[in-house]
Amino acid sequence: MTKTALILVDLQNDFMPGGALAVADGDATVRVANALMPDYDLVIATQDWHPADHMSFAANHPANGPGELVQLDGLDQVLWPVHCVQGTAGASFHSALNVAGIHEVIRKGSDRRVDSYSGFFDNGKRKSTGLSDLARSHGIETVHVMGLATDYCVKFTALDALHEGFDVRLIVAGCRGVNLAPGDAQRAVDDMLEAGVKELHVNE
Ligand code: VGL
Ligand code: ZN
């Protein structure tokens, strides 16, 4: 039997309704995560973990506002509200998430000069978080991905997982999107399926 990991992407307060970068209905994903966790050989949670001076924050670009696009270290960067600052309540996992069921936490986005949507690499693919090696060291060949947000961190985590050689399935019922532009989340799902991610239907 091949081993399978569940990757829970950024189930943090700032992405939940009322949070700094709120995703509509984002908290509906927590119940899905809790229900699925016991079924896996390895449960990995990613945690967006920014310093307060992170350059993805619009507040650190006096001339720009949230949602605007800038160049950061040679990469396109959407500017976000200040979110998931290291050690703050907004960066903590949702209080209803069963954290006892999580085996490993991978923190990302700590380098102020580059964002990190994927749980595997920063957006410039310059530095690994160690997620691949961690999963491989546990004999994982398949990963199931869910969480927030469909159109950013879930998408880039799932695509990097494919590139890293894992079989990848997307638990759509456990994802919600930012939808800066209407339809972004659906387009992200289409992009993932097009790239070779398979959809996994779960009983909610
Ligand atoms: C995310 C924008 C900025 C995400 C993180 O978790 O999808 N999106 N930081
Ligand atoms: Zn972030």
Set out the domains of the chain in order of their start, with CATH numbers.
3-49+83-199 (3.40.50.850)
- Element spanning 74, H or E: none
Query: What is the distance in A from the centroid of ligand 2 to the CA of 115?
Result: 7
State the CB neighbour count (10 A cutoff) for residue 190: 11
Query: What is the distance in A from the centroid of ligand 2 to the CA of 1?
Result: 36
pLDDT at site 203: 79
pLDDT at site 204: 67
Nearest atom of ligand 1 to the alpha carbon of 15: 6
pLDDT at site 176: 98
Q: 49 in ligand 1 pocket by Cβ < 6 Å?
A: no
Strands 104-108 and 3-9: unpaired
Residue 18: C-alpha distances to residues 3, 94, 132, 185 (Å): 37, 12, 33, 20
Half-sphere exposure of residue 175: CA atoms within 13 angstroms, side-chain side: 31
Best CA proximity match to 46, nearest among 75, 18, 84, 73: 84
pLDDT at site 126: 96
Asked about 108 being catalytic, the answer comes back as yes
Query: What is the distance in A from the centroid of ligand 2 to the CA of 168?
Result: 23
- What are the two backbone dihedrals, phi and then psi, of residue 139, each rounded to the nearest 5 degrees? 75, 20
Could you list the pLDDT tens digit for every one of the 204 residues in the chain? 799 999 999 999 999 999 999 999 999 999 999 999 999 999 999 999 999 999 999 999 999 999 999 999 999 999 999 999 999 999 999 999 999 999 999 999 999 999 999 999 999 999 999 999 999 999 999 999 999 999 999 999 999 999 999 999 999 999 999 999 999 999 999 999 999 999 999 976
Q: 10 in ligand 1 pocket by Cβ < 6 Å?
A: yes
Please give the Cα distance from 191 to 159 (Å, whole number): 9
Contacts of 80 (CB under 8 A, 6+ apart): 21, 56, 57, 58, 66
Query: What is the distance in A from the centroid of ligand 1 to the CA of 1?
Result: 34
- Element spanning 155, H or E: helix 155-163
Pocket test of ligand 1: the residue of 8, 46, 80, 107 to mutate, having most ligand atoms within 8 Å of its CB, is 80
State the CB neighbour count (10 A cutoff) for residue 126: 11
Catalytic: which of 10, 14, 151, 160? 10
Running DSSP on this structure, what letter comes out for residue 11? -
Q: Could you tell me if 77 and 115 are in contact, meaning their C-beta atoms sit under 8 angstroms apart?
A: yes
Asked about 153 being catalytic, the answer comes back as yes
Best CA proximity match to 42, nearest among 176, 166, 148: 166
